[in-house]
Amino acid sequence: MISEWQNHKAQLRSYVSKRINDSHAVDDILQDVYIKASSNLHQLKSKGSLKGWLYRIAHNTIMDFYRQQKPYEELPEDLVAEDNDSGSLARKELAECLRPLIDELPEKYGTPLRLAELEGYSQQSIAEQLGLSLSGAKSRVQRSRVKFREQMMACCDFEVGQEGITDYSPKKTSSSTKC
């Protein structure tokens, strides 16, 4: 095994060093490859496949090396999260803007949508409050969302980018459409 290892050691070193920047880690990985190959030599099917087998062991050892690395620094213990939830305020403001449009929906669609989206009830509790089965409540909420979307599309023009909706403007509608 040692003579075969010497034949492939330089090539394996080159292979590993192209994938690992730390020269000390390259030596450690080569040592691990040799140990794994030596202890699992009985698994080698034929001597002709030794080179490929060593490269597979080297590849797996490199992957193990990267899995063990910490890609981040630990945060200090005394770090405190800021209590700045501007998203919550924005959601409340948006809910107040959307409430009149939801109120324009027929009651059988407006109520489940209001409970699910504005008040945050689960679909199970919506089913219990409205006397529906769970699947009935789920269907009602989904149909409500579709009807609400249709109403929104009839009332507003939306500009959509990679981040989602980036801008909107009210449409000029006929007097028959409530917006």
Apex 170 CA angle, 151 and 145, nearest 5? 25
Give long-range contacts, CB 8 A cutoff, 24+ apart: 7-15: 8/50, 8/51, 8/54, 12/54, 12/55, 12/58, 15/55, 15/58
Q: Is residue 132 part of a domain?
A: yes
Q: Domain with 99 in it: what CATH number? A: 1.10.10.10
pLDDT at 72: 74
> What is the per-residue pLDDT across 63-114, written as a single tens digit (0 to 9) for each?
999 888 877 777 788 877 665 555 566 667 767 777 888 888 899 999 999 9
DSSP 21: -
Which domain range does residue 53 map to? Answer: 2-68
Total domain count, the chain: 2
Q: Is residue 80 part of a domain?
A: no
One domain for residues 46 and 106 = no
One domain for residues 60 and 92 = no
Last residue of some domain: 68, 101, 122?
68
Last residue of some domain: 36, 68, 100?
68
Tens-digit pLDDT string for the chain (179 aa): 667 777 888 899 999 999 998 888 999 999 999 999 888 887 777 767 788 888 999 999 999 998 888 777 777 888 776 655 555 666 677 677 778 888 888 999 999 999 998 888 999 999 999 999 999 999 999 999 999 888 888 877 777 777 777 777 777 766 555 66
Nearest-angstrom CA–CA distance, 63 and 87: 39
C-alpha pair distances (Å), 55 with each of 31, 32, 58, 81: 13, 12, 5, 46
